[in-house]
Every structure is written in structure tokens, then in C-alpha cells.
Amino acid sequence: MKESSHPLPTISIIIPAKNEVDNIRPLVAEIRTAMDGAFDYELVYVDDGSTDATWETLLALRGEGYDRLRLLRHERSSGQSLAVLTGARAARGTWMVVLDADGQNDPADIPGMLRALLAANAQDPLTVGIIGHRVNRRDDWVKRMSSRIANSFRNGLLQDGVPDVGCGLKALRLDWYLRLPGFNHMHRYIPALVQAQGGRMIVHPVNHRPRVAGVSNYGVWNRLWVGLVDVLGVWWLKRRSKAVVIRETLP
């Protein structure tokens, strides 16, 4: 792989992808339109054990000279959260952005989210993340119903103040993300986990689009029932965590 001519990036955009071959090129093109000239960045795709031509399409894009693109691959599918963790461990930015590979998150929202986050962080260094709020969701009724039930249960226990924790578009300081406990489905609980460490995440309205290609890997069983079990574990972690915030140091 050719070494990038760019300096170490400020932003690492991480996309976990499983069987999203038809969405790769349109999404990458939109990311380039949104980010080129706005921020220094790298784009880290993690192929989570795809069985279609996702990996081959990514290799072709890299071969076409897009040297901001970095590629990682799981031999077998490990789930969305662990794919994001793989990307974060390889990332070189100060800040990470995560979005779904299906094209429902709008890359045009990324620069505005980052500017809002950086401004908030400048005012309060403990504001270390931002998460999208899909005001007008374009999912089918099954996803909306299961998410509504799971969110109500989660809000009751975790009280993290986030109206749409399932939104795939979020940004976070990379070092803060890497200190969070890693487990399957943890991407749905990042705000609560950040709060347990003494940090804060703000909310930003974002666009949401219908899926135009491919098939979702999520349904009632893994959105609802698994989520109801997971939230109990996160509730326990949050209760047992003690945030230690260091504001001053001496040489």
C-alpha cells in the first residue's frame, strides 16, 4: 500500500461495513465532497466479514489513488461495535467520526457537527463528543417501533439525556473512545459510557435518508431484545464507575 502524502490527520472517519458493496462508491464520493478542503482527515473502512464484493470494491477505490482511504478487514463478522473498535485502534486522528455504511447518514452533516463539537470543547474540555438526532427518521415501522421501546427503557435506567442514541453518526475524541469498555453493541451506549468517565456529549440535528441499496442487518430481535439486556449491563457499569477528572498538573 502506498504511503499517504498527507500529514497525520485531525479527523479519522470510521465506517464499519458488512455486505454494502452497492453503497461504497456513492458514500465515499459524498464524504469527499463534504470533507475535502474542510478538514484534514483519513477515511477508515472496516470490512466486517462481508461475503459480497465489499472488500474488492474498497481495494479498487484505494487502487484508484484515493490515498486518504485506509482499509481493515475482519476474517469473520464480529459485529458493528467491534468493527468500530478495530478502526479506532488503527486511527491516527485526534477526533473520530463514525457513520453507518448504508448511506442513511448524510456526510454533508459531518463538517457542521465537527465545528459544533470543537466550539463546545473549546468552552468546556469535558465536552468530548457529539451525536446526531434524526429528527425525521426514514426507517420502516419495525425499526422505529423497536427503537422507541428500547430507547424508553434505556432512558429510564441510564438517563443520559440523548433522544436518539441509535443514530449512527457521531464524533468523539479518539482517546476518550479508546478508554471506554469494549463489548458487542456498545456503540448504542457511548453517551452513557462517556458520562460514566466524567465526559459529556452534545446532540446535533442531522438528516436521515432511506436505504437505497442492500439489506439491513438489524431487526426486532437484535434492536429490541438484545438491547433490553445490554442496557442492564451498562446501567451496572455506570453505577460502578467513578470518574476522576484532572484539571491541573504540576511539572
Strands 170-173 and 200-206: unpaired
* pLDDT at position 235 over 70: no
Euclidean distance between CA atoms 132 and 111, whole angstroms: 12
pLDDT for the residue 24:
97
CA dihedral sign of residues 242, 83, 200, 37: positive
Under 8 Å between Cβ of 71 and 59: yes
Euclidean distance between CA atoms 131 and 33, whole angstroms: 21
Under 8 Å between Cβ of 119 and 36: no
What are the C-alpha distances in Å from 143 to residues 101, 121, 138, 150, 214? Answer: 17, 33, 10, 10, 16
Query: How confident is the model over 40-55, as pLDDT tens digits?
Result: 999 999 999 999 999 9
Nearest C-alpha neighbor of 188 from the set 79, 81, 84, 87: 81
Q: What is the DSSP string of 125-172?
A: TTEEEEEEEESS--S-HHHHHHHHHHHHHHHHHH----TTTT-S-EEE
pLDDT for the residue 177:
95
Query: How confident is the model over 108-138, as pLDDT tens digits?
Result: 999 999 999 999 999 999 999 999 998 876 5
- Amino acid of residue 194: V
Range from 140-144, 182-186, 211-215 carrying the lowest mean pLDDT: 140-144
Rg (CA), the chain: 18
SS3 category, 198: coil
Neighbours of 46 (CB within 10 A): 27
In the structure, what pLDDT confidence band is assigned to residue 197 with cuts at 50, 70 and 90?
confident
pLDDT for the residue 209:
81
Neighbours of 158 (CB within 10 A): 21
Query: Which residues lie across from 73 on neighbouring strands?
Result: 47
Under 8 Å between Cβ of 150 and 234: no
Q: What percent of the chain has pLDDT over 70?
A: 72
* Domain at 11-240: CATH code: 3.90.550.10
* pLDDT at position 223 over 90: no
**Residue ranges covered by each domain of the chain:** 11-240
pLDDT for the residue 166:
78
Query: How confident is the model over 7-31, as pLDDT tens digits?
Result: 667 999 999 999 999 999 999 999 9
CA 173 to centroid of chain Cα atoms: 12
